[in-house]
Structure 1
Amino acid sequence: MKRILAAFLVLVSAVYAMAQEHLSFKGIPIEGSMTSFCQKLKDQGLTEIGTTNNVTMFVGNFTGRQASIGVSATSNGKNVHGVIVIFDSSDEWKTLVNTYDYYKGLYTRKYGNPSDCIENNPSRHDSNTFLMSELAKGTVNYASSWEVTGGEIELSIEKATTPLNGTVVIKYLDAQNIEMKLQNDLDEI
């Protein structure tokens, strides 16, 4: 009985320790003050371009590619809870899929198979125009996600603001800070 209790306590400690870890972006834990986190991104060469609605935007290099990077804060604007990477938009379906497949391969190599994956293109045509039209209509679903220690990483192809364009997006969602934000929002309603 003592061995079972000891094993259970070790398991509980391990689960608690994993829950206490924060997800990292570019080697930086997604935790603490927005100011501190953003300064660390600047130290890595990203350029801040502005802040709107508790999201600070940067441009710079992510894995050798130019990207826009948004850092989101809790509703009070103080603590960071997520990061989004948005690559340049394209009007070429093949370019979008190649970028998506590259990052899906990277994340799979690091974290294993996605915990969820939907790659559905209902178009019966393989022409670029039809594929981009389907993306614009919202009928194309290309998304993978990984539940990792500290949170979740989501990869997707999404329609861009320019008609018949799309973009590849990667979201880093820190579990602890998202839960804190949700609790704050619940307290507010």
Structure 2
Amino acid sequence: MKKFFTFLLVVVLVLLCLRIAGVWKSEPDDKNKNRALEPVEVDTTADSVAMEQSTHLKFKGVPIDGSLAQFLSRMQSKGFEVTSGRRDEIHRLEGDFAGFKQCEVYVSTLDNQDLVSRITVCFPIQDQWKNLYGDYKTLKEMLVEKYGRPVSCVERFTDYLGNTGEETYLMHSVSRGGCKYVTRFSTDEGDITLSIEQREGLYCFAQLVYQDKENSQAVRKSAIDDL
């Protein structure tokens, strides 16, 4: 019986030693894990000053310029969420903008370059003309207040359905591509285009496109150099 208790004591001691050794061994990994989760410190004050001094067209206060990673990081700090990865040089975000909830924002970069150049905002989908036109009209009024009179404006229907004036027919016309409502604003930093759009003949919405002038000129210069 004494030998049995002695054996049992040895087993317990061995297991205890293995347990202690295991804790010591895993300790560095836990520290590395916690270190990896620590957020990267960013000088937000310096970044805010840099954005304020930028000569590029701004979207929600963020210059339409720089690398995609930098732009996405700045947009996330504004409350936007990245909802899809890169596809054909475009990233998709989602968030609130200009008083509208859950807008889709598409960030485009220059071909073969990690340089943001255009932002497209798709506002909530509408299935009634009064709401669709209401979104367009509201945005147009705010843009006029901020940027002044537009440089061009076309608002008409190009098919017989839209020209009937009937609410139901108006939406059919929009879904068939018969609605041409486009207003363009021009600034020293770039162009802003407001329009009524449709996707797949089912989804109708107001849309804003911000095109930075400096980066657009860089693309044009590169294209001319190829000639």
Deviations 1:57-84 (A, max 9, x none): 1001112212000110011240000101
Aligned to 2:58: 24
Aligned to 1:46: 80
Residue identity matched to 1:23:
L
1:148 to partner: Cα distance: 0.8
- SS at 2:164 equivalent: coil
Larger radius of gyration: 2
If each structure's strand is expressed as a fraction of its own residues, which one has the higher value? 1
Q: Which has the higher contact order (CA 8 A, sep 6+)?
A: 1
Mean Cα deviation higher: 115-124 or 140-149:
115-124
Please tell me whether residue 183 in structure 1 is matched to residue 218 in structure 2: no
Residue identity matched to 1:73:
T
Query: TM-score normalized by structure 1?
Result: 0.83
Deviations 1:123-153 (A, max 9, x none): 2322222111211232211010100121000
Mapped partners of 1:186, 1:54: distance in 2: 22
Aligned to 1:167: 205
Mapped partners of 2:104, 2:224: distance in 1: 31
C-alpha spacing 1:76/1:95, structure 2 compared with 1 (3 Å) = same
1:49 to partner: Cα distance: 1.2
Mapped partners of 2:124, 2:205: distance in 1: 6
The structure 2 residue matched to 1:157, chosen from 196, 201, 207, is 196
1:98 to partner: Cα distance: 0.2
Mapped partners of 2:224, 2:72: distance in 1: 27
Is the 1:135–1:164 contact (alpha carbons within 8 Å) kept by the matching residues of 2? no
- SS at 1:158 equivalent: strand
Please tell me whether residue 79 in structure 1 is matched to residue 121 in structure 2: no
Aligned to 1:13: none
C-alpha spacing 1:34/1:165, structure 2 compared with 1 (3 Å) = closer
The structure 2 residue matched to 1:135, chosen from 157, 162, 174, is 174
Q: Which runs of 4+ in 1 moved over 6 A?
A: none
Deviations 1:78-103 (A, max 9, x none): 00001010012222111110000000
List gaps (5 residues or longer) in structure 2. 1-53
Mapped partners of 2:220, 2:126: distance in 1: 34
Query: TM-score normalized by structure 2?
Result: 0.70
Please tell me whether residue 110 in structure 1 is matched to residue 146 in structure 2: yes
